[in-house]
Structures are given as C-alpha cells and as structure tokens.
Amino acid sequence: MLEAVKMRLTSKDVSGTMFTFEGTNIPEHLLLYIRSAFPNVEDVVNGDEEYVEWGETDLSKQIKEETTPAESLKLLRTTFGYTQQQLADKVGITKQQVSAMERDREPIGRKMAHRLANALGTSYKNLFW
C-alpha cells in the first residue's frame, strides 16, 4: 500500500513552497525533523498543488551541502534498521570503528564507503550525497 504525506510550508517567507513524501515506509524521524525545522508545516491530504522535484529545491541543496558522510552513514544505518554491531559484523570491522565513523572521528574512505554501502544494500554515493 502506498502512503503519501504532502506538506505545505505556510510561512510567508517560503511563498507557499510545497514538497511531498511518498512511499510505503516514511520514517517517522524524518517527518518529526521536517515538522520541527518548519513549525508552520501543515499536512495536506488532497489538493491540486504544483509539485516540485525534491532534488531541485533549495532545502534539498542546503541539506546536501551541510550533511557529512558521518551523518549520512548514521541515517542510512538507522533507516535500514541495523545496529552499529550488526553493520560492523556485515562489513568486517569493529563496532567502535562504525561509531567513530558516525561521529566523524574516523574518515570514510572510498573503499570503506563501498564496503558500507554493499552491507547496507545501497550505493556508496548515498554516503556522500
């Protein structure tokens, strides 16, 4: 079953900008983040609003610029439902190394990015947006 959550930013400074989340499993932490970052957000169930591609929005570009590989790793790991230990076991490293990478204390090199992405079942590019 497809779930769709449409949110209209009602703040005057964003001129009615709108974005839509669609999918079968929208993470609650993502919805909570958007609602906390934009207190004037309202859920829209129906309507004929104009849709904008997420990757083309200023918010998307800002998030990409400000998101570190460490933050991306933690987001991907938690989104896919892995603990640090489970991911470490799949990659063949220690839990402490995963923790250090998520806290940006240990850099994520190209080879490690590929290993992490393979373990998570995604592209290594998702670690670097």
d(CA 9, CA 19) in angstroms, rounded, equals 8
Per-residue pLDDT, 21: 63
Q: What pLDDT, on a 0 to 100 scale, did the predictor assign at position 92?
A: 96
Query: Residue type for 73, please?
Result: L
pLDDT of residue 42: 64
- CA distances 40 to 12, 33, 50, 58, 124, Å, are 10, 13, 19, 17, 35
* 41-44 vs 3-9, strand pairing mode: antiparallel
Whole-number pLDDT of residue 83: 96
pLDDT for position 115: 96
10-residue mean pLDDT series, the chain (129 residues): 48 50 68 73 58 76 83 91 96 97 93 94 83
How many Cα atoms sit within 13 Å of 108 on the Cβ side? 25
Provide the pLDDT for residue 44.
Answer: 54
